[in-house]
Amino acid sequence: MMALVTLIEGLVEALGSLARACVLLLVLLVSFDVLMRYLFDFSPVALQELEWYLISPIALLGIAYTLKHRQDVRVDFLYEKFSVKTKAAVDLFSGIATAAIGFYIAHLAFKYSMQSYHMGEGSPDPGGLPYRFLVKAFLPLGFGLFGLQGVADSLRALCVLLQPASAREVRA
């Protein structure tokens, strides 16, 4: 089971690196846009739309990455007082819920993304970017990745729950 957890989290880490790169690119792009606007009174629509396009991978790939690194919100003042087994049970439940919600939203978003793809959706603005469906493709990808991280969390918790009590105490 831990091999599957490692595989899933490797994928989450790789796509999280893509999200981090998009953050850097967005900062550079916004800085360039501001300089061009104030120094040369030039700000193309496509440049502004590219900034919006970069927010999709940042947010949607970042949710699974954030969960993997435990930077999500939870009630730690209660959780930290739980035993190892109780923590694992809470993690199992939350991992299953995360996977179910993530995969359900990914399923819904896939239909939405495919509709955009089949329409060949692009920007409605003159001078805007084509291929808006590529941005929408991050919806099922991001939530599917979120669901996969939920599976990884569930499997990790299950491994802890299935360990003999003596092994759990050594781990804690």
Q: pLDDT tens digits for 8-53?
A: 999 999 999 999 999 999 999 999 999 999 999 998 888 889 998 9
Q: For Cα atoms 167, 169, 170, give the angle at the middle one, nearest 5 degrees.
A: 65
Instruction: Look at residues 17, 104, 27 and name the one whose alpha carbon lies nearest to residue 62.
Output: 17
Asked whether 12 and 65 are in contact (CB, 8 A), the reply is yes
pLDDT of 131 over the 60 cut: yes
Give the range with max mean pLDDT: 63-72, 119-128, 147-156: 147-156
Provide the terminal-to-terminal Cα distance of the chain, rounded to the nearest Å: 20
What average pLDDT is seen over the chain?
91
Q: CA-CA distance, 87 to 95, in Å (whole number)?
A: 12
pLDDT of 74 over the 90 cut: no
140: confidence class by pLDDT, cuts 50, 70, 90: very high
Tens-place pLDDT, residues 90-112: 999 999 999 999 999 999 999 99
pTM of this prediction?
Answer: 0.86
Per-residue exposure over 86-109, b if at least 16 CB sit within 10 Å of its own CB, e if not = ebbbbbbebbbebbeebbebbeeb
